[in-house]
Structure 1
């Protein structure tokens, strides 16, 4: 499983060529799915340390993939928000990931596809 995951990440990094890593994409995806978020909440959800999230956020803001916004009622609270450019990049990254997975899974028979889908559903279920 690690070999497959590592290979997919390496291929994605080579093919995507966006000067952005998988961790950046996870942050952007979080922002798209959850809307504006406090960096501490993003870090907690994604299992990242606050310094790591600060580093990732800085690059996202610098590349205009996200912006920082102050809370109107409490200016000490800062939110991170996705930009249109960030949403576009996420779409491209997602498409590239799908292309790589299709190439990987085309080696499987239809029966193996069905088995794999069932395995992923089981692994993704909230029930333990």
Structure 2
């Protein structure tokens, strides 16, 4: 890599890799859901019913973005909206059985995409890549 590249060029190259992965994901996964939708379903699967504000914070999303994502998940039957029994002002989202099924399909497609990605790299390069992303994400 050219050490004289600007931060903008570096960000652009990283964006290109991410964008290409998203394009490939969308071609493989036919449920008309984006990666953010799958992240929300995955959060619900791991943590159980959750307040939208907690999901948004956990995933680094804005509350309005989470509202938009959850509306589609509810409409498709992958999540339910629930009120707290003790305080009707508190709202929760929870995963449905259909949500678990679509999450399983998404995870299988993700495994296929990951295999395609890592075929281009050696085991050492994969380890370095993961370590670099962890380091940069701190």
Matches within 5 A, 1:4-83: 4-83=17-96
1:102 matches 2:115: yes
1:85 matches 2:98: yes
Matched position secondary structure for 2:98: helix
Structure 1 residue 45 displacement after superposition: 1.7
C-alpha separation in 2, matches of 1:6 and 1:65: 26
Structure 1 residue 123 displacement after superposition: 5.5
Matched position secondary structure for 1:107: coil
CA RMSD of aligned residues (A): 1.8
C-alpha separation in 1, matches of 2:66 and 2:32: 17
Residue correspondences, number? 125
Unaligned runs of 5+ in 2: 1-13
The two structures have a TM-score, normalised by structure 1, of 0.86
Structure 1 residue 117 displacement after superposition: 4.6
Matched position secondary structure for 2:81: strand
Matched position secondary structure for 1:75: coil
More displaced 10-residue stretch of structure 1: 56-65 or 114-123: 114-123
Structure 1 residue 119 displacement after superposition: 3.9
| Residue in structure 1 matched with residue 11 of structure 2 by the alignment | none
Structure 1 residue 35 displacement after superposition: 0.8
- 1:31-85: CA deviation from partner (whole Å, max 9, x where unpaired): 1111101111111222222221111111111100000111111122111000111
